[in-house]
Amino acid sequence: MVFGLEIPIKILNFKRNYRKEILFTALKHPLLSIGKLLVRTASLWTSKQSYKSADYLLLSIAVSHTGIGAGRALLDTVMSFAEGQGYNVIGLYVGVKNVTAINAYFSAGYKIVCYDSDQLYMEKLVRSI
């Protein structure tokens, strides 16, 4: 999980620190890796949609076994953090093809706010405004 200020630097450091693990994961799952490569390549020729950057970001979950509660634990941690900071709403983007994540967000109480460029934007109230 990556969150906080200076997200691009944190992501770059993560990629540097876990370069070997990222490569081995890509080799273990070649079809997913090829799909991501094709999407990235295609994005070079499509128009870019600009989004307002956030101060906090939940990047992704990478676990070797699904169904162990890692995603729920991360969502609960983010919710507790947001409550402690006095935030009213948590928002996130998720790819429309990521059905597992979408279902997890629905079960955690997130609602779809809008659809844009193969992404759903979902929000959940942290506390009443």
Q: What is the pLDDT of residues 70-89, one digit of tens each?
A: 888 888 888 888 888 888 88
Helix (H) or strand (E) holding 6: none
pLDDT at 39 over 90: no
Contacting residues for 59 by C-beta, under 8 A, at least 6 apart:
1, 2, 3, 7, 11, 14
Predicted TM-score (pTM) of this structure: 0.55
pLDDT at 92 over 60: yes
Contacting residues for 21 by C-beta, under 8 A, at least 6 apart:
none
Lowest mean pLDDT among 8-22, 92-106, 107-121: 8-22
In this prediction, residue 26 carries a pLDDT of 79
Number of Cβ within 10 Å of residue 49's Cβ equals 9
Q: In order of start, what are the domains of the chain with their CATH numbers?
A: 7-125 (3.40.630)
